[in-house]
Amino acid sequence: MYTKIINTLLFNSALMLLKVLVVLLIILRPSFASAADVVIVQSISIKPYNDVLKGFKDTCKCSVEQIVLSEPSRANLKRKIQKANPDLVLTIGMDAYRKSRAVTSLPVIYTMILAPIKTISNSADTTGVSMVISAEKQLNIIKKVLPDTKEIGLLFDPARSGKFIRRAITAAKTEGIELIAKEVNASKDVPDATMFMKDTIDAFWVIPDLTVITPETFKFMLLCSFQNYIPLISFSDKYVEMGALLSLNIDEYDIGRQAGEMARKFFSGTSLKQIQKVDARNAKITINKTTAEKLGIPIKSETLKNARIIEK
């Protein structure tokens, strides 16, 4: 009888002690660094960048820690990266890349950068996916959407887009298009250059060149497009919404996937030096139907079916 009671008391006491130990372990656990494989540094929290993040996560299947620079705690970027102690850094946006590169020597995969500029290309532990869609792809789509196009006008800053233009000229010939590319060295030359070529082209192709595109120059080109019934082909929905006929956009999610694939290769033991920098492999089409109607340009229903349509 007494033995039974003593056993019960002992059992209960042991149970109680166990519970206390568990609680103490939880409370007094040491602050270990989070074991994230990848720290993702994002310039700003906007949907296209979040799509990149999503594509990356879906593909990489690795543990990540996200840092958004536009948020108040961005000042602690270096400490945060150190704290996360990752193997790899993924940057989304130019600002994210520059700042991350400045504070860490860890391998970096960049995304959402306009062009692989020299600093990036020379860095050993850096690879990534640019926002550039290959000229061939773009011209191929243009030809499909606007099959009657023979001469396409284009303005470019050789310092920024010379390499792209060289490839584009070659690709155009393949598509049977004459690409009339005019160099501009300063933004203020854009109106004159635009006016110069307006009578000889079937379409005007605006490439993501910061010298050529300013708020004023784009408005002028748009105005010129309307006045001369020349369709304007751009590289972002933003300009289609402003009145451009068509844009060939990057697929942000797919860029994320491309970066994810690179990360996987890295984690599987491949050095980043060995992983080639690439352009965006997919293109999305956005068409302004109202502009098409105003300019009297017929768009095939098949094209419309695969495109984002803006009507305003």
Q: Which residues bind other proteins (CB under 8 A)?
A: 43-44, 46, 48, 70, 93-95, 113-114, 131, 187-192, 195, 208, 210, 213-217, 219-220, 235-236, 238, 241, 250
C-beta closer to other proteins: residue 82 or 134: 134
- Least Cβ distance, residue 75 to other proteins (angstroms): 15
Q: Are 70 and 44 in contact (CB under 8 A)?
A: yes
The single residue listed with the structure tokens 């020349």 is 230
The nearest distance, CB 187 to other proteins, in angstroms, is 7
> SS3 string of 18-59?
HHHHHHHHHHCCCCCCCCCCEEEEECCCCHHHHHHHHHHHHH
Select 42 or 149, whichever has its Cβ closest to other proteins.
42
d(CA 170, CA 178): 10
Q: Which two tokens stand for residue 47?
A: 């949907």
Cβ of residue 52: shortest distance to other proteins, in angstroms? Answer: 12
Which is nearer to other proteins, 88 or 221 (by Cβ)? Answer: 221
Specify whether the CB–CB gap between 165 and 192 falls below 8 A. Answer: no
DSSP 284-302: EEEEEHHHHHHHT----HH
Q: Give the CA distances from residue 122 to residues 125, 133, 209, 219, in Å, rounded to whole numbers and listed in that order.
A: 9, 21, 22, 36
Task: Find the shortest distance in angstroms from Cβ 116 to other proteins.
Answer: 12
Q: Closest distance between other proteins and the C-beta of residue 127, in Å? A: 18
Q: Report the nearest approach of other proteins to the CB of residue 70 (Å).
A: 6
219/300 with CB nearer other proteins: 219
Amino acid at 272: L
Q: What does the buried/exposed string (b/e) look like for 199-216 if buried means 16 or more CB atoms within 10 Å of the residue's CB?
A: eebbbbbbbbbebbbeee
Measured from the CB atom, is 83 or 98 closer to other proteins? 98
Comparing CB distances to other proteins, the nearer of 153 and 208 is 208
